[in-house]
Structure 1
Amino acid sequence: MARCVILDTGFGAGQQFLATLAAWRADPRRARRLHYIALAVAPDAVAAMPAELREQWPPALPGLHRLSLEGGDVTLDLMSGQPDACLAQVEARVDAVYLAAPLRSATALARLALPGATLAAPAALEPARRAALSAAGFAFAAGQGTARAVFASRQPRPARPAPTERRAIVIGAGVAGAAACERLAARGWQVTLVERHALPAQEASGNLAGIFMPLLSRDDNPATRLGRAAYLFALRHWQRLGGVGGAFTGARCGVLQLARDPAHAGLQRQIAAAAGYPPEYARWLERDEAGALLGAPAPDGGWLFGQGGWARPSTVCQAMLDACGARLERIFSTGVRELERRGGEWLLRDAGGAVIARAPTVVLANGCGATALAQAAGLPLLPVRGQVTHLAEGSLPQPPLVVCREAYMTPAFDATVCVGATYDADADPGLRAASQRENLEKIADILALPVLDAPLAGRTGFRCVAPDRLPLVGALPDAGAAAAGRRERLRDVPRWPGLYGLLGYASRGLIWAPLAAELLAAQLDGEPLPLEAKLAAALDPARFLLKELRRRS
């Protein structure tokens, strides 16, 4: 068996997981990969975990947290909260269930069970619950100490979808494409990376520094929850690669995000009081403490994200591509003009019509360049200009961490400080004095200093932005095929076979890249998803087309 997926409805302190892990390690005929989905995790469960998991254990925050050990062969998905509510957001097909905590909905459990899936429950399982499980398709047999059952529904669901031939082409060698290569190669895929430039990270990922920090909101809306999941996953993933400042250039020096004005500060205090964030994740600082960190007046206070910081995206790309090893083929200095589906494969053609590469699966990770291809032309992606200013070290007072409000400033590295970035609705690739002035005015306001007169220096890049500011992750819709018939749900929208997108990362590509690539790789391999079902649906590339089809009907 290639993979065994187990659902534990009452993880508690993790005794059942530890016993399962020990049995998996000792079994010479074991599944190559063990995937354990844990609901109702006790707050102090980390204390019993092995050191490899303690090091990556997430802070006490809501959501689905994916952890990895045994070189990626064992995955542990953690979800705290009421088991039924958590179960409704699990997107997986499971081989076994530990029914440690009773569930109100037996049908919700049956939704996840593969034919032949086993269930183990306490011997004292209430008759009513046993009857509900039986009605849902679980056939019970007598057992000592436990109640055991096998899922044998009268309406058998198909087995976990078999992956297509495990060859893929990724177009684009920025952080999105590099992460896709790494996550696919880690699962045994052979990947061909096609890039129009001679080197990786030459467009939006070419900035000297990218900032990583979470997003907060009063209502903990989907964008906030998605941003939190991406940020925490990225921190764990980078740690497995070798760490910020180790595997790639950067520093987890902390990020100080200042409030804009007294009204904005009042709202942030409400968020701090209601959310009760663990201090290592986010800590609200009043004026004196924030000012001491800034080295300048901070009259409205700010958030300290102690695990945040900055990284050089090009080195992040290189670390992820290096991790692919021999499973990665690189075709650079080659642009893709056309995609053609023939004989179960996609053919990539250059401007002269020659075939560059072919594979059953193609991932578009080339930002707004994807819309130049006919199959992705209808995606609502827009390029947004961002000019970053480069200052010589010592030009301005230098706090020891990243500082941001309506602009950001990084600590100096290689004698350069990065300040930016503008958000412009034009396509000018050059450096503009007006944009530099905007950056310098904003940072001068933060530091309570006169505006610096500095030589024009920096870099201009273009973010790829969707209307809702969320990425597009998954199978791309076929707009022509979707026009016929009524489309009420995302699953009703026809898709191009074997064509996927990792697009629209806007200003947060650094943190979005690892989780989005993990989500896509899980979809391709039929694995449990690393996000709650509703959040994964919020990233579906077909969401805009579905909205338009509903509007027309």
Structure 2
Amino acid sequence: MPIIPARLEHSADGVPYSSTFDDIYHSADGALGQAQHVFLAGNALPERWQGREHFVIVETGFGLGLNFLATWAAWRADPQRCKRLHFISCELHPFSTEDLARVHARWPQLAAQADALRAQWPALTPGLHRLHLDNDQVTLTLYFGDAREGLAQLLARADAFYLDGFSPARNPELWSARIFHLLARLAAPGATLATWSVAGEVREGLRRAGFEVRKAAGFGGKRQMLCGILANSETHSQTDEQALPARGHALIVGAGLAGCSMAERLAARGWTIELIDQAAGPANGASGNLAGVLRPLPSLDDNRMSRLTRAGTLHGWAHIARLRARGLAVQADACGVLHLARDGAQAAKMQAVVERLGLPASHLSHVDTDAAARIAGCTVAAGGWWFADSGWVQPPSLCAANLAASGQSLHTHFGRKLAQLERQGGLWHAYDDQHRLIAAAPVVILAAGVGVLELDTGMRLPVVSARGQVSLLPAASASPPRVVVCRGGYVSPEIDGLRCAGATFDVDDSEPALRARDHADNLGKLEAMLPGFTHGLDATALRGRVGFRPASPDRLPMIGALPADGTAAPRAELAGLARQAGLHVLSGYGARGLVWTTLAAESLASALCAEPLPLERDLWEALDPGRFLLRPPRPGRTAE
């Protein structure tokens, strides 16, 4: 469902107001005071988060973001605060950045937090969006869409709930029995809740869902508010945290996009990383190309591929922005991507997709041939999709920035080929081909691309090796096309005197040398996109690069814990599969390594640390490597 932004309106007394719900966003006595009294004090904060490894708050309505900003400010002011604060909130009608700026100006004491929030404010697209704030110590996860759907999809354990939708009379769906039971499902032992509403149906609904509630003194002119706690549980429980290692230590195999991204995400959480790669440095395999494309793949039904590539693209560009804000150089440009239609039927379908999804035009729009030519700066074969916020990334520079961001937590073992993994005494030991120990750690993450096929992991993943050859074309500075253009293949703008065109996709082809016929194939795709562009280019004289990419049968990556063996009982479910202790995989990225890498690493790091996940439940399950035990792939099926 398209996201319809909220409009900034005001009541007669100047309080932000919604004509859609005919209700105000906060008490006329003051938003900040209400946030502090009702939601913070009502959940016994900051006391309850003190001394914790992490603390998770779930809110039912983000609105202006004042509850989040007040909570963040209270966390910053508390010297005994938890190490990491997670705040999750649902919002059906989010505000634009411009409207947020206007309303946030009312609270200058929160200016620093408000500015940081708006600097990372996501595109108004449906689904989960994760924002990393305050040096990765504060994480805001926003669900844009219906809270009934968002809460059902969350993978999290909440320590506190803020119930702050419009009034039950104006917005009954947000105070329904379904919402209350979803909150109970998400609640950690000892979870508390607070809300300004004391309506009888709210009290009874929460009680039926398993919460004990009581009235307390309200804020301002409201005499009472409601506080609650999950029934039959201790006030404070650290059961989940006690199961985690005090100091995480992981061994990552592979220093391409997958491995380097994983190292940075774990290092941000204080883990020690042992990074192993047989090459002399990072990004020497399939991640070594001059440029790759970071953009989504929409669909008419907004299927899992569509949602995952959109989430991965948005998360990837946000991550690049954070790296650059730290002074780390990533060669990339969100110059825009044109995806041209191959024929009239596809052009009509592309336009229908744009109309059906209703995404912001800054993210996805449809352009005709003339408009596409103006955007590209040269003749194009057709119109199609225009991704204004997408573009190209140089993978080696992203790998280098991720490793630099990992700091002293990272120990590299380059030039060491992993030959064997053995688990002894709760640790995985990595040995080279001379049976010399490389490193040992309780957690192993296999991110070695097609190299995962060479390791005995107890389960043979249905990964195939796909040879990809790109062609490097000479290019004058600022010459067209000025944007990335795709159709069957892709071509980049000029980058350091070259442009990248490609790529071939040949399964089970192990030839490492460049082939003139593959250059000719790339030139043929380029000519079909940009008529006349290849005039004077000789396929036998081109430079290029060959890489081998791990592809999965269903085109989705494999992320998570490996099953203990290669079989599953009849009617087994993912949650019931036995897993190998401490052994995880990042593979199957295929031709979309840039799209998957950052979101995949954040997701697996979150799972390893028992933190809320940045992916919806159905998407996370769709990436589980155990899925192939439950539904074996059809023979011969691979995907580009």
TM-score by length of 2: 0.82
Residue number in structure 2 paired with 1:138: 211
For residues 147 and 543 of structure 2, the distance between their equivalents in structure 1, rounded to whole angstroms, comes to: 54
Does structure 2 conserve the Cα–Cα contact (< 8 Å) formed by 1:173 and 1:193? Answer: yes
Q: Aligned to 1:439, which of 517, 522, 536?
A: 522
Q: Shift of the alpha carbon at 1:293?
A: 2.3
Moved more, 450-459 or 493-502: 450-459
- Cα pair distance change 1:376/1:217, threshold 3 Å: farther
Rounded to whole Å, the distance in 2 between the matches of 1:396 and 1:432 is 29
Q: Supply the distance in 1 between the matched residues of 2:159 and 2:327 (Cα, whole angstroms).
A: 40
Contact conserved, 1:282 with 1:306, CA < 8 A, in 2? yes
Does the 8 A contact of 1:257 with 1:304 survive in 2? yes
Q: Structure 1, residues 256-305: CA drift from partner, whole Å, max 9, x if none?
A: 11111111101011111212221111121112111222344445312221
Contact persistence 2:189–2:234 (CA under 8 A): no
- The answer as to 2:517 corresponding to 1:453 is no
Aligned-partner SS, 2:287: helix
The residue aligned with 2:264 is 182
Does 2:373 correspond to 1:373? no
Shift of 1:126: 2.8
Contact 2:160–2:191, Cα closer than 8 Å, also in 1:
yes
Task: Name 1:150's counterpart in structure 2.
Answer: 229
Indicate the larger mover: 165-174 or 16-25. 16-25
**CA distance 1:394–1:444, change in 2 (3 Å):** farther
With over 3 angstroms needed to count, the CA separation of the structure-2 counterparts of 1:394 and 1:10, relative to structure 1, is closer
SS at match of 2:217: coil
Q: Report if aligned partners of 1:258, 1:301 keep a CA contact under 8 Å in 2.
A: yes
User: What are the ranges of 5 or more consecutive residues in structure 1 without an aligned counterpart?
Assistant: none
The aligned counterpart of 2:64 is 13
Alignment of 1:291-306 (within 5 A): 291-298=373-380, 300-306=382-388
What corresponds to 2:511 in structure 1?
428
Residue 160 of structure 1 is matched in structure 2 by 240
1:202 paired residue among 281, 284, 292: 284
Distance 1:355 1:274, change over 3 A: same
Q: CA deviation at 1:248?
A: 1.4
Compared CA separation, residues 380 and 433, structure 1 to 2 (3 A): same
Q: What is the TM-score of this pair, normalised by structure 1?
A: 0.94
CA distance in 1, matches of 2:71, 2:291: 43
Distance 2:331 2:458 in 1: 34
Deviation track 1:31-67 (CA, whole Å, cap 9, x = no partner) reads 2221110012532164156121212211111010001
- Mapped to 1, the partners of 2:367 and 2:599 lie a distance apart of 29
What is the match of residue 399 of structure 1?
481
Closer, same or farther: CA 29–170 of 1 in aligned 2, 3 Å: same
Does 135-144 or 333-342 show the bigger shift?
135-144
> Deviation string for 1:110-135 (max 9, x for gaps)?
111111111112342333x4233223
Gap change, CA 1:444 and 1:298, over 3 Å in 2: closer
Contact 2:251–2:275 (CA<8 Å) still a contact in 1? yes
- The whole-number CA distance in structure 2 between the counterparts of 1:89 and 1:378 is 30
Q: 1:55 is matched with which residue?
A: 119
Q: What is the distance in 1 between the residues matched to 2:204 and 2:477?
A: 73
Q: Does 1:496 align with 2:608?
A: no
Mapped to 2, the partners of 1:208 and 1:112 lie a distance apart of 44
Deviates more, 1:118-127 or 1:453-462: 118-127
CA-CA distance at 1:487 after TM superposition: 4.8
Query: How far, CA to CA, are the matches of 2:477 and 2:416 in structure 1?
Result: 40
- Describe the SS at the equivalent of 2:85: strand
Amino acid at match of 2:135: G
Give the Cα–Cα distance (whole angstroms) in 2 for the partners of residues 414 and 154 of structure 1. 61
Opposite residue 13 of structure 1, the aligned amino acid is L
- The alpha-carbon distance between structure 1 residues 401 and 512, as it changes in their structure 2 partners (threshold 3 A), is same
| CA distance in structure 1 between the partners assigned to 2:212 and 2:78 by the alignment | 27
Q: For residues 239 and 197 of structure 1, do their structure 2 counterparts lie closer, same or farther at Cα, with a shift above 3 Å needed?
A: same
Q: Give the deviation of 1:444 after TM superposition.
A: 1.6
Which has the larger displacement, 426-435 or 325-334? 426-435
2:85 — aligned with what?
34
Counterpart amino acid of residue 448 in structure 1: P
Deviations 1:446-480 (A, max 9, x none): 22116532413201111110001111111011225
> Segments of 4+ in structure 1 off by > 6 A?
154-158, 243-246
Q: Is the 8 A contact 1:93 1:160 kept in 2?
A: no
Corresponding residue of 2:557: 471
Unmatched tracts of structure 2, length 5 or more = 1-51, 105-113, 166-174, 219-224, 636-640
SS of alignment partner, residue 187 of structure 1: coil
Counterpart in the other structure of 2:161: 97
Which sits farther off after the overlay, 444-453 or 80-89? 444-453
- Aligned-pair CA distance for 1:199: 1.0
1:124 to 188, 198, 201: 198
Single out whichever of 283-292 and 194-203 deviates more from structure 2: 283-292
Structure-2 change in CA distance of 1:548 and 1:446 (3 Å): closer
Distance 1:32 1:457, change over 3 A: same
| Offset from partner CA, 1:192-216 (integer Å, 9 cap, x none) | 0000111110110011111111111
Alpha-carbon distance in structure 2 between the residues aligned to 1:314 and 1:365: 16
* Distance apart, 1:6 and its partner CA: 0.4
- Alpha-carbon distance in structure 2 between the residues aligned to 1:453 and 1:246: 38
Identity score, percent: 44
Instruction: Report deviation, 1:104.
Output: 2.6
- The residue aligned with 1:506 is 590
| Secondary structure of 1:439 counterpart | helix
Aligned residue for 2:48?
none
Alignment of 1:235-314 (within 5 A): 235-242=317-324, 247-298=329-380, 300-314=382-396
Match of 2:186?
A: 112
The alignment of Structure 1 onto Structure 2 pairs a total of residues equal to: 547
2:464 partner letter: L
- Say which is worse superposed, 459-468 or 75-84, in terms of deviation: 75-84
**Aligned pair in 2 of structure 1 residues 457, 244: CA closer, same or farther (>3 Å)?**
farther
Report the AA paired with residue 540 of structure 1: D
Give the CA RMSD over aligned residues: 2.3
Which amino acid letter does the alignment assign opposite residue 33 of structure 1? R
**Per-residue CA distance 1:220-245 (angstroms, 9 max, x = gap):** 00011011111101111111100699
Query: What displacement does 1:486 show?
Result: 4.2
Deviation of residue 174 (structure 1)?
0.1
